[in-house]
Structure 1
Amino acid sequence: MFRVIGRWFHRYFSDDEAIVLILLLGVALFTILVLGAMLAPVFAALVLAFVLQGLVNWLEKKGLPHILSVVVSFLLFVAVFLAVLLLMVPLVWEQGSNLLNELPGMVQQWQDALQHLPETYPGFISESQVNAWIETANTQMTRAGQWLLSFSLSKLPNLVGILIYLVLVPILVFFFLKDRTVLLDWFTSYLPKERRMINQVSDEMSSQIANYIRGKVIEIVIVGITTYIAFWYLGLNYAALLSLLVGLSVLIPYIGAAVVTIPIAAIGLFQWGFTQPFFVMMAVYGVIQALDGNVLVPLLFSEAVNLHPIAIIVAVLFFGGVWGFWGVFFAIPLATLIKAVFTAWPGQDELAST
């Protein structure tokens, strides 16, 4: 048995590059798990820099100097950020407050509808079942209200930190864009000169992570704006709030679209009931989801590594549980990284040939 284990260990861990790669991945994992909250502005700035790097490269190809390309891209980012902060956030906040104020009335209307079910379906639903459902719903609503209140109070001391992030993140984005080459050269200077496997994994992942982040941001914007226009045209209440949820739902493949459908259907039923406008709204929402999954995603992520849906869902659940929001956002790139490491690992060629 020890001979078998020894041969296995020699096949996969005899390469010095493999040991270096393990150390790099270990340091990255330690940084994420232990220092993730502390370095959240840095991670956010890196994501935004990835998004803007494509624009910087495009401007440089058009003949602009590097520093001018960075300045133009950064000013565009600041303009979009201020527009979202000054226009979208107040609208979503207002609609969210209105929804919370009207939520008790919506719950009461649903309770009244449930109490009529035993009369409509006497052989299937009893009055005791309806009372149990109502009691469970009231309990869950009370818990949700208590959690929301405690969450809002716990976040009040962090307002100063949020204001610091609003200043710190743009500064970091600017310097990440301006000194990208310098920072990469400094980092690679600490790596071994012979790093074929590390370069293979790095080359495969750098472009894919950049394309993924840029594609996700574009997908969120397109899906969110399209949904808002559709909901606003149809007259659905809380169109901005719901469209924001739909846009963010694309971060979680498969699961996000299913979860966000529940509040959309609930608000549509409360506003229109089982009438034609409700079914038209749900049909339009279904068309948007279908176009997103079958047209937009293939266009934006045509260069992404093909991952099985089970692998994507497992990655979302695992990395989301380990790293929260950022884990969900980077679930697919991290799963792709694991696949790239296994592909480039020493001994895989021998294994494939046997």
Structure 2
Amino acid sequence: MTTNYTPPLYIKIASIFITLLSIGLIFFIGRNVLKPVLLAFLFAVLLLPIHSFLRKKLKLYNTLASLISVLFFVAVVIGILTFISFQISAISSDFDIIQKNFNSFLYECHKFIKEHFKVSIWEQKKYLEDVTKDSVKKGNESIGTMLVSVTDVLLDSTLIPIYTFLFLLYKDHFILFLSKLFKKENHAKLKEILCQIKISINNYILGLLLEMVAVSVLTSAGLYFIGIKYFILLGLITGILNMIPYIGIVIAGVLTVIASLSGTPQMSVLIGILVVNIVVQLLDNNILVPLIINSKVEINALVSIIGIIVGGATAGIAGMFLAIPLLAILKIIFDRLDGFEPWGYLMGNHLPKKFIWKIKSNKNVEGNV
């Protein structure tokens, strides 16, 4: 005689946390292997419409359709990098002017500090020399780490297109594998989950690209009006780096300030750059992100921030980029699995206007959220 055993709530919660911690530990240990695989999976999902068009409309073989899709993706990336490299080479030709303007700007900063904080220029230079010496020592110690990082980037750049091609090539194979894991009565739910994951990831990445274009255009326009020479390049770099949470916009701001020294060292221009970046970020955070990004993935801000921080601590910049789509996939799975609906709801961003507490005395207590 069999009986259905329902474990207590604390056992369910403990099992879920142990499972999540185990998955997190596996990701942390194998992050160097999993980063290119997960990035390739996202790009493969993004390229699925092109792959499907080539197969269904143009009647191409699966291998050829997969290869053309990946080559198209690689060509777009190479085109963007080529444009940036040409523009950077143009900036490098102004290096002497940048250095001269930087020294002039630095001297004005020294004078400002001397007049307002009563610190002599000699003391300021002595402090900068001491800091520079410490930085040089630390830089020499980190050369090996930098070389390893560059090697990892080059390796990932080679592996990601290969993995993307293989994901597209064996798409049907993977789906058949998943269908074999579950009973036939669960195939409808499995199909629903896979379709929703595809739609969510596609919408998120397309939304991210739209946000990148919008930020690039807004920044380029702002830099053009304040008279920055390489406004198109700097706007594009700002849009690309803006996809890296937190640190991306800071790096873009520093690069913009350095590039602006090719024209003038005036403080008013630097203040103008700061104002442009602040205005663009306000528009991005309050209009573009809620309209383009948050509408594509229904993840609330608290879970997003925690996921980005954990992703960054686990796998660096790639982990920060992967955090949101992975959380979106988890939410889709939780929403459609029995017993996991509360966790999917916890990750969502839909807040009820009212809630009702039901008490044993059959009295309902109404409150506002």
The TM-score with structure 2 as length reference comes to 0.66
SS in 1 for 2:267: coil
- 2:174 aligned to which of 163, 174, 183: 183
Cα separation, partners in 2 of 1:265 and 1:60, compared to 1, 3 Å: same
Task: Show the 5 A alignment for 1:109-128.
Answer: 109-117=104-112, 120-121=115-116, 125-127=117-119
Identical positions, percent: 22
1:110 CA displacement: 4.7
What RMSD in Å do the two structures reach over aligned CA positions?
4.7
Task: Confirm whether residue 333 of structure 1 aligns to residue 329 of structure 2.
Answer: no
Q: How many residues align?
A: 336
Bigger shift: residues 82-91 or 54-63: 54-63
SS in 1 for 2:295: coil
Separation in 2 of the partners of 1:238 and 1:137?
Answer: 30
**Counterpart amino acid of residue 29 in structure 1:** G
Task: Confirm whether residue 77 of structure 1 aligns to residue 73 of structure 2.
Answer: yes
Task: Confirm whether residue 315 of structure 1 aligns to residue 316 of structure 2.
Answer: no
The corresponding residue for 1:7 is: 8
**Counterpart amino acid of residue 307 in structure 1:** N
The corresponding residue for 1:3 is: none
1:305 CA displacement: 0.7
Cα separation, partners in 2 of 1:103 and 1:189, compared to 1, 3 Å: farther
The corresponding residue for 2:211 is: 219
Separation in 2 of the partners of 1:142 and 1:331?
Answer: 38
1:283-305 Cα deviation digits (max 9, x unpaired): 55455445544554313552211
**Counterpart amino acid of residue 74 in structure 1:** V
Task: Show the 5 A alignment for 1:39-188.
Answer: 39-57=34-52, 67=62, 69-89=65-85, 91-92=87-88, 95=91, 108-117=103-112, 120-121=115-116, 125-127=117-119, 135-145=126-136, 151=142, 154-156=145-147, 165-188=156-179
- 1:303 aligned to which of 296, 299, 302: 296
1:329 CA displacement: 0.5
Cα separation, partners in 2 of 1:10 and 1:282, compared to 1, 3 Å: closer
Verify the 8 A CA contact 1:252 1:328 in the aligned structure 2.
yes
Bigger shift: residues 44-53 or 332-341: 332-341
1:182-209 Cα deviation digits (max 9, x unpaired): 123224534566769x958766545323
SS in 2 for 1:37: helix
Higher helix share: 1
**Counterpart amino acid of residue 209 in structure 1:** I
Verify the 8 A CA contact 1:227 1:246 in the aligned structure 2.
yes
5+ residue gaps, structure 1, are: 1-5
Task: Confirm whether residue 274 of structure 1 aligns to residue 267 of structure 2.
Answer: yes
- 1:34 aligned to which of 22, 29, 41: 29
Which gives a bigger RCO, structure 1 or 2 (Cα 8 Å, sep 6+)?
Answer: 1
Separation in 2 of the partners of 1:163 and 1:318?
Answer: 24
5+ residue gaps, structure 2, are: 1-6, 346-354, 359-369
1:325 CA displacement: 1.5
